[in-house]
Structure 1
Amino acid sequence: MALTLHASSINKNGFKARITAEYAGVKLNLAPNFVMGESNKSPEFLKMNPIGKIPVLETPEGAVFESNVIARYVARLKGDNTLFGSSLIGYAHVEQWIDFSSIEIDANVMRWYFPRIGSGVYLPPAEEAAISDLKIGLLALNSYLATNTYLVEHSITLADIIVTCNLYQGFTRCMTKDFTKEFPHVERYFWTMVNQPKFKKILGEVKQADAVPPVVQTNKKAAQAKEQKHKPKQE
């Protein structure tokens, strides 16, 4: 079965399916000459995903979009793996951690990081809320990992793949060592995962962010203007 993943080679949401394919023993090709901002706006791409977001998986039966769904599809192509755990409760726990990391980690990392680089309006109170919510999620994950090597049972599952990819965005973009040192078990878990051979084949050498990216100037001015607008007038 020929499978083609339409995504850039460094897209963390694309990493989910690509690492899953390594563990599932599934052949997965990256779309050749994919250019973000061009390829995903083509009529052919928009037929597969009308929103134009990546990744999209092209299969002989049709296209699939949404990164977690794509990873689930790839994991199920071959039944001789334990990526969904070895029991019904194991399966439930896999899904539990996928949802947890999407809501508590990935969403808050994006709320923190993207406004700083110009992909959204930067507002300091919103950033503070995102960081606070992210810390709550990381604290919960840290507590669980204090007594667990993996998220589900005793081997790598789809939960570990997706959670690690969501952590990857934070670790490499805005979560510096000073930030993550509060969560030592998350640190241990993340570096253990990304140095597994099948992860490393896709991710390469992973380097933690040295600093939180500065706010782009246009966003800084917009935030200042918005704050000024809402200040009460002096009588």
Structure 2
Amino acid sequence: MKLYHHPLSGHAHRARLFLSLIGQDVELLEVDLANAEHKSPEFLKLNSLGQIPVLIDGDAVVQDSNAIMVYLAKKLGKTDWLPEDPLGGARVERWLSIAAGPIAYGPAAARLVTVFGAKFDTGEVIGRAHDLLKVIEAELAGRDWLAAERVTIADIALYSYIARAPEGNVDLSAYPKVGAWLRRVEALKGFVPFVKTPVGLAA
């Protein structure tokens, strides 16, 4: 398997982290975002949206970090990471949707401002991040993981951008349950850290 990625991308880290947690060997191919390699004709053949990560598995080309995790879990029979029962699967899918929506437009967007110079309304995206963190803090009351009694791809989908939310000036100090959850993810065998960037509150 090959994974097209960039070390500063939370989406790419999401895929790389899951590959490591399940012990799957993969060749990492770094995409030069600064020189717009992801918009080159060659890369657009792999992902017409010009986005990373992309997983290559033989003849299979899988785009999108959440889709990559679903693909790997189903192909490799990792039902502990992605339950097969309807309710268990739906609970995971809910958080994958949150990762693609509120996470992307909250803490991820706030970090894009400080790390990549994105032109978002900082007050708006930081506010969205705190709105979501309050929900997650409440949902973690009385349980260790987001979607099940054990860690699933739901937790991996949210980890990267929440862990680095302070880089986008999102203060995590008011969310002790979220902090404890982050530490549980980081204690998993095979954990790979997301590169830290000294910006925002992390400067």
What TM-score, normalized by structure 1, do the two folds share?
0.74
1:146 aligns with 2:141: yes
How many positions carry a matched residue from both structures?
202
After TM superposition, give the deviation of residue 174 of structure 1 in Å: 2.5
- One of 179, 188, 197 as aligned partner of 1:196: 188
More helix by share: 1
1:185 aligns with 177
2:68 aligns with 70
SS in 2 for 1:30: strand
CA spacing shift, 1:100–1:41, aligned 2, 3 Å: closer
- One of 27, 33, 37 as aligned partner of 1:36: 33
1:132 aligns with 127
| Structure 1 Cα separation of the partners of residues 78 and 104 of structure 2 | 29
2:168 aligns with 174
SS in 2 for 1:50: coil
Which has the higher Rg, Structure 1 or Structure 2?
1
Note the 1:55-94 alignment, pairs <5 A: 55-85=53-83, 87-94=85-92
| Structure 2 Cα separation of the partners of residues 211 and 9 of structure 1 | 18
After TM superposition, give the deviation of residue 145 of structure 1 in Å: 0.7
After TM superposition, give the deviation of residue 73 of structure 1 in Å: 1.1
CA spacing shift, 1:213–1:158, aligned 2, 3 Å: closer
The answer to which of 137-146 and 51-60 deviates more is: 51-60
1:18 aligns with 16
After TM superposition, give the deviation of residue 141 of structure 1 in Å: 0.4
Gaps in structure 2 of 5+ consecutive residues: none
After TM superposition, give the deviation of residue 86 of structure 1 in Å: 5.5
| Structure 1 Cα separation of the partners of residues 15 and 114 of structure 2 | 28
| Structure 1 Cα separation of the partners of residues 99 and 75 of structure 2 | 24
| Structure 2 Cα separation of the partners of residues 209 and 192 of structure 1 | 23
| Structure 2 Cα separation of the partners of residues 149 and 165 of structure 1 | 17
After TM superposition, give the deviation of residue 159 of structure 1 in Å: 0.5
| Structure 2 Cα separation of the partners of residues 43 and 121 of structure 1 | 26
| Structure 2 Cα separation of the partners of residues 8 and 29 of structure 1 | 13
After TM superposition, give the deviation of residue 15 of structure 1 in Å: 1.8
1:156 aligns with 151
Question: 2:2·2:55 contact (CA, 8 Å) conserved in 1?
Answer: yes
1:82-112 alpha-carbon deviations (Å, 9 max, x no partner): 1112632111101111212332223212332
**Which AA in structure 1 matches 2:74?**
R
After TM superposition, give the deviation of residue 78 of structure 1 in Å: 0.9
The answer to which of 187-196 and 106-115 deviates more is: 106-115
1:53 aligns with 51
| Structure 1 Cα separation of the partners of residues 5 and 40 of structure 2 | 13
2:97 aligns with 99
CA spacing shift, 1:116–1:36, aligned 2, 3 Å: closer
What TM-score, normalized by structure 2, do the two folds share?
0.84
1:6 aligns with 4
